[in-house]
Amino acid sequence: MMKNDILITGGHIIDPARNINEINNLRIINDIIVDADKYPVTSETRIIHADGTA
């Protein structure tokens, strides 16, 4: 993955995300931005690259 890539997964939110500006590696779960380190990749994960490709 490149910086600014976004992962979209089908998981559930457990903990609220920290301030967006503190997170470089972002993952969006059900349209909520979370810290990627806390949420592992699942079978529902899709990567949206920073250049707009999937």
Domain ranges of the chain: 6-48
Burial (CB count <10 Å: 0-12, 13-18, 19+), residue 6: middle
pTM of the full predicted structure? 0.23
Over residues 1-44, the pLDDT tens digits come to 455 566 655 554 434 454 444 444 555 555 555 566 666 666 56
pLDDT of residue 51: 63
pLDDT of residue 22: 47
pLDDT of residue 31: 54
